[in-house]
Structure 1
């Protein structure tokens, strides 16, 4: 991709080089800009500077190395250095759930803005928030900037990345949201940064700070609700004798509903949906409209019940007691094409069975290192075969392509009992049953 003029192009600083920040920095460089990524984590800066992505994301490492070699991308531990080099500053730091409540912890966001001001943010600089924050955050930060760095502008442009597809979602997003204050230059400058993306047909929504913040949390709340809805239907199907897969298929023909996020299973996890719906509820309570989002408590509860129902299926398959029984667990990441184990339903199921006395062996194509560090009492293996060796029940907990394509006939001789619990609705029941397996799944009849 040809480079553009360095004298007129925005020079970009990305604060925070975790999943969001590293991806954003690399992709901005891929679009032709000079980019510096900043983080207080020295090891992360070292690894990124050496061309190594510190997490699993398909396609990202190749782009990282390409743009390092091209000289468009650098990383630093000095925010002052970044402020000196750049005039557009993206805030991409984490907003985890607070330990004492469901609210978002905004310390890193506040520290980023304070650091920019202390580093000498210029009057012509633009600060762009991409972190997921409660509504009202941008208004507060804009006032902070006005007091500490007069003339600098603040925009809020939330990210909508899917782990496993983050490069494509950054370079070819399904929409861009620009939350800007009236009368400033932020919209024009953002359109300059995203000119290629806009020219390729990506729609742009220009709105105020508050609405831009709400777009992100509302989107995540909607997706979480859709997942919990189909899992609630799975509960009904189990009680009534229906088939949730056939139900979802029929629902999906309605264009108003669609098929995405209508796969019943052990629920959602990761670093976004769980914490974001809780933070959304907490902020609604602060605003005095908590009842408007009261349904999100049940969304969260349905999600938790999906885990317990999967464990109950495993207990049933083991004759009621997991004690000293051998269990093979396929999957540790919260979703495929990721090594993210935050709030992973897969690991929650595996650990619950271990605590109940089972001997649980886990295999995941990418997340074993992260999982082992957080769940040292589980046994982790380097292959499907070693994970299921001698198992009396096998659980599919993350729907990796490798697991979807397993040959049940080849796998059968390695297990003690051919029983599989499909926690993601990813397997072909007919194929597994034809190979002699007992197939069970949430919301599906045992035929």
Structure 2
């Protein structure tokens, strides 16, 4: 791959098994992002500071009991839902050099793409300016350390859904035994060298017809841990009991956490909705890439408010540019008709230069700026049309979900008359607090058992 900035070519190391490489990008990203060399050269161009971080890497292990097609499908679904649908471009390489250790390297761009296919900001704009007139930005949400746990949880859930779809009994839990509340001991990581030695020992034992015995320190330690866990498992099974109330609360919690569409279908409200209302809810769900409730819809509405401010700024820029071009035409006309060596001619020349034009090449410069203006105007109109169409959907979804939230609150709080005195945002918080209290109660009851 050729590096334009440093004018060097890079040849990556050879692998025993050819890596499976592909690029995933948002639908509104330009076509050139699918060319790896072009993509990363453009990344370097957009980052001006020499200290800029150019990419973010995520490394994931892939279950080795899936075939290659299933492995790729799993990786694609994960990368699409967690990174690409949120604006990032992902350069993915799946390595399968070792049968027991398939894994994927996911290289992400640091900037998302805007709706119009241009590079976005690393940090979201607040819509406000400081005392010096400069934009004020929020912290980069992608740098939040909590993302790591979130990405782990989402990957775990996706793996388990894959196993369930394939009718496989195996399930994954990426938490430690301690965080799962289990008293079992965790095994130690073998590493590729120790794993290779143990695999050879297993082959040798099978060939000689003898019982396999671990040969590495880590392998022997893991055998002792597994033996202890087996003995502990017998004890735990004797203590395991069912509790009817906990089962009922677990079911209630699951029902409350269901996607809003499924909840509405179950209650019969979905059928009563108009096609417009259904379309609005599904639009918010698809845009936000998560289950929909009032909080999610309000976040989506906030995104559109920021988008509207961005459009307003673009409209102002276009108006200013149109004013500059029109003013330059008048000044150039004044310059052309004024006699040489006169104040009027010199004044017109100076004012043209202040507007970014030169009298010697004015006609070409004016033509180029007018063409760019018309191109930007067409792009702005298309974006504004898309904004207006979808803003109506978001507002409709908020309106529908406000009604749903009020109904939920009435059920959960026994139609308390004080509910009508609360703003809808506070009512939504009450519903969320109820869910949290159910979760906390379940956790405490499980600890007691």
User: TM-score when scaled to structure 2?
Assistant: 0.22
The TM-score normalised by the length of structure 1 is 0.22
Give the structure with higher Rg (CA). 2
Between Structure 1 and Structure 2, the one with more helix by share is 2
More contact order relative to length (CA 8 Å, sep ≥ 6): 1
